[in-house]
Structures are given as structure tokens and as C-alpha cells.
Structure 1
Amino acid sequence: MSQPALPTHDPPPWLANAHARLPPKERAILDLLLHHAAQPVSKEEIIRQAWPRQKWVSDESLVRCISQLRRRVPQARIEALYGFGYRLLPPSTGPRVHEPLLQAAQAPAELVEQYLHACTLVQRQTATPLARAIDLLRKLTERQPDYIPARVLRAHAILLAHRLDLNAQAQASLEEAWVQVGLARALAPDSPLLAATEAGLHDLDWRFAEASRLHQSALQELPYSAHALQPYIWHLLATGQAAQAPPCQHRILAQRPHAAVERVVWARLLAQAGERDGALAAIDAARAAHPGSTLVASAWCDLQARFAPRRALIPMARDLHELAELPRYARVHLPYVLARCGRRSEARHVLDATPAGRYPSTLHQRMARVPTLIELGELDHAAEEITLAYRQRYSGLPGLLHSPACAALREHPSTREILRSLGRMVQDNGASP
């Protein structure tokens, strides 16, 4: 005997896109759970609804079908009532900071362990860990093509590598990131963090209007997610909204209070927003918490030179300059410190002698030299570098031009025109999330 049709209901907003793409059994189970709202539904009733023509269905088949449903529709909070059945919980009204992790956990333990390990590597934001994370995620997505969290994290890691000028070491192209985003959107368009990652990729291409709409969507859904907040901070800097960035980084820091890189970003954002005392206090706190960190020491020396230049900083800057683990682009900190501390001729000599000096190999390295060129009074030279970066659409250029370090350069004729052009790209962004 056929099953009676269930009453029809307008699906909730989060279900509108996912419902039509569900396989028949998963759609039938979700319809049944929605019909019973938050009430428990027995395994027998679920089986009768989803497998109406089969006399016997194993518990394993039901569990597998529920697992697939959770993965395809992560917003559906399906609770297992062991020994009885399942029920659909009402939507959570609190901050959904753990929603992406809950979605990632709907997979075999081995996959989840590898995914979490990749997350840890990505959070370190340095070359070798990022390269390892991307390689691990490639293997993970090849072995489990429908494990969407791994695809999104893979795209996010590549985005981060390009932002930090580490894409050569990571051997990852933006085309690869776009492919992962496209596949994730085709398989699970409502996947957490997908919009944030796609927004970050649009920002890299200076498509700020598209990025803004995606950032709004991502932060409305997950306002406390570090994964969503990090690309949005880059967007704020690129569109001249630096004052709004520190509160976003404060949310990230609340989740990762012991991460040296997040403390450094916090101090730098305060500096970018013009909060001198706050920036110095933040980098002092970071140095006290991470006394052996080269990253923190380099940032401390740089911010001290910017806000409180003194010749006592020079020996520390020299020592840092000699460290092998210091990234090539960071080796321009020594000439910057020298210039800020009154050693201009020496700063010019050291700038040319560094690997990122006279013949820098990447646009990121060229742009790292710009604050030193400004300090040396070489505004025409700095403007030439800016023009080259604009022609080649260097992704970090908008944020650099809006920084206090480039204030003197913004009145240069060629730079003024570039700023006008960038302004036209962001004028249709609309309200910020």
C-alpha cells in the first residue's frame, strides 16, 4: 500500500536551494522530519517513508542516508535518539562559530582527523605549513570528492598563500582555488565558509562589489568565524575602511589568544587605523607572550621604528636581518629602521644589497620596499613601483595605498590617478556587513 502524501509546507529559507537537489530518499527523510517539527520520529517510520517498497532495510543503510543528508544540508540539525530514531532540532539562535566544524565532523574519523590537521597548518600562515596543508587537502579531496569542507579549506589555503606571497613555495595557483570553489558550490551551495572564500578570491581580482555582497552573506551567517572574518579584514583594508578592521581581528583573537600571528595582525591593524598607543601596547604584549618568535620580534622592531624611532633599534634590526628563517620580503625591515632612525645613506645601501632590494623577484617584495623609498624621499621611485603594481594588478596594492605609510605618496600625480581608479571600483559596494 502506498504511503499517504505529506502536507506541503513552504520550505524554510536555508532549505530552498538544497531541497530540490537532494536524492529521493534523503528528500523523503527531510520532509518527514520537517513535518514532525521538533518531535521524535522512529526509525521504522523513517524507513517506511524513504523505502516504501522494501520489506527490510538495515540500520546501517539508514545511518548512511542520514549521514549523507547532514553533509548535503548542514543547516539541518538532525539529532540521533539512540534506540528510537531521529528528530529535527530548531535552528540555533546563538553565534554559529562552530557550524563549519560541525559540518566537517559529519565524515569518517580518519577524514576528520586529516581535515583538522590541515586547519592547524593553515592557521600558522607560513610557507612550509601552508604547502603541507594544500598537499594534504589535495589528497583528501581526491580520495573523498564530496567532502566539501576539505574543498573549501583547500581554496582558502591557496587564497592565503597568494595573500602572503607564498604561492611559489606552496605551488598553488588561483585557478586551482576557483575550481575548488566551483565544485563546492555545485555540490553544496549553502556550505559554511564558501561565500567568505569566494569573496576573498574576488578581492584578489579587485572585484570589490562582488566581494562585498559575498562578505555580507558570509558574516550574516557566521559573524564570529575566523575563516570568514580574515578575508573580510583584507577587504576592509583594500577599500579604505581600516578603522572597521580592528574589531573584526579582536573577534579572531578571542578565539586564538595564543597565536603569535594573530597578535601581530592585531597590532598592525591598530597601527593601520591610526591607533598609535594601542598598536604599541599590543605588540609589546605579543613580544612578552612570544619572546622567541622571529615574526613578533620583526613586527615589534618595525612598529617601534614607525612610532618611536631611536638608534637603539638598529642592532636588533641587524640581528633579525641575518636570520635565515626571515622571509625575503621582510628583509627590507632593516633599511626601513635605518631610514626612520636617521641613517639614510646606509639605508639606501642596505636596501640595494638585500635579496628583495635592487632586483626584487616578486611584486610583493617590490611593494615591501615602498615605505622605505618614501622615508628616503624617493617619491618618484616609489610612484613608479606603485604604477607597475597597478598595471600588473597586484592584489595587495589597494591596502598598501590606503595605509598611513603611504600618506605622503597619495599626493603624487600618478598615485592620485590610481587611487581615483580604485575608488571607482569600490563605490558600488554598498553597506558593509
Structure 2
Amino acid sequence: MPGRNASAPLTLDQRGYPLVDGQPLKLPPKERAVLGLLLRRRGQVVSKDEFAAAGWQGQEMSDESLARCVSQVRRALRPLGLQVETLYGLGYRLHDEAEAAPRGVEPSPASRGELQHLRQQLQQRTPAAVGLVMERARRLVAAEPAYGAARVVLADALAVAVNWGQLPTAEAVQEGLEALAEVSPDEPGVDAARGALLDMAWRFDAAAECFQRVQAMDGDNAEALLACSRHLLFTNQAGRAVQLLRRVRELAPHALHVRMNLARALVQSGQGEAAVEELRLAGEDHPGQLVLLAFTLAMQAMVAPRDELAAAATRLTDGLDTPPFVWTVASFVYARLGRREAALDIIDTALLCSATTAGEASLHAASLAALGEYDRAATLLERAAAERAGMLALVLRDPAHADWLPHHPRGRALLRTVFGEG
């Protein structure tokens, strides 16, 4: 509506419809209900359950659906000088922008130091490191709500956690998108973080728009371009991903996660020997890194399986605190070498563990496929799809599935579900 400004009064009519200067504010029904509840409770926190009762009238409300509604309400209120604030774990609150934490306020030196440390931790890309970064980034955002860079790191950590299967996809994506909704579009890395979250939600077209902006505006940001390259892997553009990752490697030549992603892209594009060589060189720069040792072993088993890899897998799992991803690699190595009993023993033990999520379990599908257990592999992948596990997109693009997935009826159905292919 032309002529709206921050002084225009926002009210509700007798039916609960929002009015600006007495004129209807056009919104879809759910968004109208969300705004009505926020306006009636102005200045107070409104919980997700209250939104579900008001706007969804007893029907199931997904976190992503509520986040989309709130996003539209924010856009409608911005010209009026009103803001919908996210309070993590609690809900939302409506207030004037003047009451909100001011944007552009310089964070404290301690907060800047903490953020730099979190960025370094996140580069490790291990489940333990990602969990630590999420916890501390949430505290940092709570302490410095106007610190846009901290919100970007939180969103990045949430996307990586989903990719490891550590968090339910819908909740993590919603939390990340809500965090980014408060960030200036000029903040470095914000488009890449949003695109990574959308990829985890299998919203690849929306993610592609984010990554187009990344390449146009964040062309020297290694982390942003890395997220863009992963989008290319999700969307089966491995050749382009290799080209982009080589550019990223020039920007960050010693970053381990960049080298590992490049190796993955090389394998996915049919350049297995080049991938193994890339990992050998990475090992010289990062000796003894468990995640690299495990990843290298998996790539070697995929490209050129040989008997001595079994001993390496046994050494890697020789300990009381072996992480789950290492056991996944060991099962794959044994499966590729035809050691059926050893591989199935690991898989069956993992699947019996109540702490194993459907996403984590889907990683064992590659081992089952290597053993010719295609139906059982499909079952694990279908369970992950039913839970909309964000990590499934990359799992399905694993070269270990390339020879059977497109030719198996259940495999084709999975590709349609996640990517719309077939």
C-alpha cells in the first residue's frame, strides 16, 4: 500500500484482520493469524504452540511452515517500523524497531575473539567440534544479538550438524533461517549460509538463487564458495564443483575441509586417482588427523580396494572412543574387500544402537550396496527420506551408489523424492 510509514497505526478489526490506517493489510490466512496473535500480545513472547492453535487450527504445523509465515510477516511490517524478534527456544515477539537491539553496533573485543575461535573450530568439521560451535555460537548471539557475523557462524554450524545427522533437519533449518533473518544482506557469508540451510531442506532451486549471489558478491570468500561447491555436488554438477573447489584451494591452500571436499568432487566426477593423490598431499599437511585418515581410507577402498586396507581399518577402530563415522568407514572398507561378516557385524551393531539416527544409519547403505544388499540399503535410505534427513542429499550422490541407485525401482523413487529426478 503506497504511503505507509513507521507512524502509521497497525490495529485489528472485529474479525481479527490487521489494518494500517484503517485499510486492510493484505496477507494470506496463516500469516494473518500469526500477525494477529503477535499484535494482540505485542511486547510479549508468543510460543510455537500458540501459533499452531491460532493459525493451523489443530492441524500439524511444521517448524519450516511457521518460519515461512513469520518471514512474510516481517516483510509486511518492515515499512511500518515494526520487527518480529526471534527468541531461541521460546518463540517470537513483536515490537518497534527502536526497541530492538540496534544493528551495526560494534561487538565487544571479547566477542570478536570468541567468533574467530569458533570459525577455526568449525573448520574441523567433526561432530564434536560442530556441537561445541553450535552451543557457544548460540550463547554469543544471545549476548550480542546485533552481531550479524555470529549469526552467520551459528547458521553455518547448524547446516554442518544436519549434514552429520546430529540434528533434526526441519528444526535446525528453521533455527538457522531465523537467525539469518536478523542479518543485513550485506553481511559476508549470509547468502552462503542461507543456501547451505536450504540445501539441507532439499530446496535446491531456492538455494541456487543464494549461490548465484555468492559468486557475484562473495567471490573471494573461501567458506562461501565452499558452500556453493557443495550445492553443485548435491545437484549433480561434480565437474563444475571440481573447478570451483580448485579455486577455493588457491584461496585457502591449507584448509583441510577444502581438500576433502575437492577429493569428494573428484571421485564424483570420475577422477578417482586424482582424489587419492589430493588426499595424500593433504595428509602431508595434516598428519594424524582422524577425520582425514578415515576419509582417505574410504576413498582408497572406493577407487582401488586392496587387502592391506583391512589392517588400516582395524587400526583405525582400535580404541574405546572410536567415533561412529570411523566405524562407518571400516564397514565400507570390509564390504569393498568382500569381508561380509566383518562389515555386517559393524552395521548390525550400529543399527541396534538407539542413539543412531536415521541419517547416520543411511551412511551404512554404501556398505550394504557394496555387498549386493540393495534392498536393505534402500530401506535405510528410505527411512532417512521419511525423516527428511538433510544429509541424505549428499549420501545419494555418493559414487558408491552410482551403479545401482538409478537402476533400482526404490532407488529411482528416492531420487525423485529428494531431487525430483526420474
Q: TM-score, normalised by structure 1?
A: 0.67
Distance 1:336 1:133, change over 3 A: closer
Which consecutive unaligned segments of at least 5 residues does structure 1 have?
A: 1-16, 24-67, 73-105, 428-433
> How far has the Cα of 1:370 moved from its partner?
0.8
> How far has the Cα of 1:176 moved from its partner?
2.4
**2:309 is the alignment partner of 1:313:** yes
Distance in 1 (CA, whole Å) between partners of 2:387 and 2:138 is 29
Number of the residue aligned with 1:270: 266
Distance 1:201 1:412, change over 3 A: same
Decide whether the 8 Å contact of 2:259 with 2:278 is kept in 1: yes
Distance in 2 (CA, whole Å) between partners of 1:326 and 1:217 is 40
**2:138 is the alignment partner of 1:143:** no
Summarize the alignment of residues 87-98 of structure 1 with structure 2, pairs less than 5 Å apart.
none
Distance 1:263 1:326, change over 3 A: farther
Number of the residue aligned with 2:379: 384
> How far has the Cα of 1:396 moved from its partner?
2.2
Cα displacement string for residues 138-197 of structure 1 (whole angstroms, at most 9, x for unaligned residues): 2322232222111222222222222223349xxx8433222211222xxx2332221211
DSSP 3-state at the match of 1:124:
coil
Summarize the alignment of residues 228-307 of structure 1 with structure 2, pairs less than 5 Å apart.
228-307=224-303
Distance 1:121 1:349, change over 3 A: closer
Decide whether the 8 Å contact of 1:401 with 1:410 is kept in 2: no
> How far has the Cα of 1:388 moved from its partner?
2.0
Distance in 2 (CA, whole Å) between partners of 1:118 and 1:287 is 24
Figure out how many residues of one structure are paired with residues of the other and give that number.
322
Number of the residue aligned with 1:111: 111
Distance 1:346 1:159, change over 3 A: closer
> How far has the Cα of 1:375 moved from its partner?
0.9
Decide whether the 8 Å contact of 1:356 with 1:365 is kept in 2: no
Decide whether the 8 Å contact of 2:327 with 2:346 is kept in 1: no
Number of the residue aligned with 2:85: none
Distance in 2 (CA, whole Å) between partners of 1:370 and 1:256 is 33
Decide whether the 8 Å contact of 1:260 with 1:290 is kept in 2: yes
Counterpart amino acid of residue 328 in structure 1: P
DSSP 3-state at the match of 2:182:
helix
Decide whether the 8 Å contact of 1:302 with 1:337 is kept in 2: yes
Number of the residue aligned with 1:405: 400
Decide whether the 8 Å contact of 1:339 with 1:372 is kept in 2: yes
Q: Percent of counterpart pairs with the same letter?
A: 27
DSSP 3-state at the match of 1:349:
helix
DSSP 3-state at the match of 1:306:
helix
Distance in 1 (CA, whole Å) between partners of 2:396 and 2:133 is 31
Distance in 2 (CA, whole Å) between partners of 1:324 and 1:273 is 36
Distance 1:360 1:370, change over 3 A: farther
Distance in 2 (CA, whole Å) between partners of 1:314 and 1:380 is 26
Counterpart amino acid of residue 409 in structure 2: P
Number of the residue aligned with 1:375: 370
Counterpart amino acid of residue 381 in structure 1: R
Q: CA RMSD in A?
A: 2.8
Distance 1:351 1:420, change over 3 A: closer
Decide whether the 8 Å contact of 2:214 with 2:228 is kept in 1: no
Counterpart amino acid of residue 331 in structure 1: W
Decide whether the 8 Å contact of 2:165 with 2:390 is kept in 1: no
Counterpart amino acid of residue 416 in structure 2: R
> How far has the Cα of 1:328 moved from its partner?
0.7
**2:317 is the alignment partner of 1:332:** no
Distance 1:356 1:267, change over 3 A: farther
Distance 1:393 1:128, change over 3 A: closer
Which consecutive unaligned segments of at least 5 residues does structure 2 have?
A: 1-74, 82-101
- Please tell me whether Structure 1 or Structure 2 has the larger radius of gyration of its CA atoms: 1
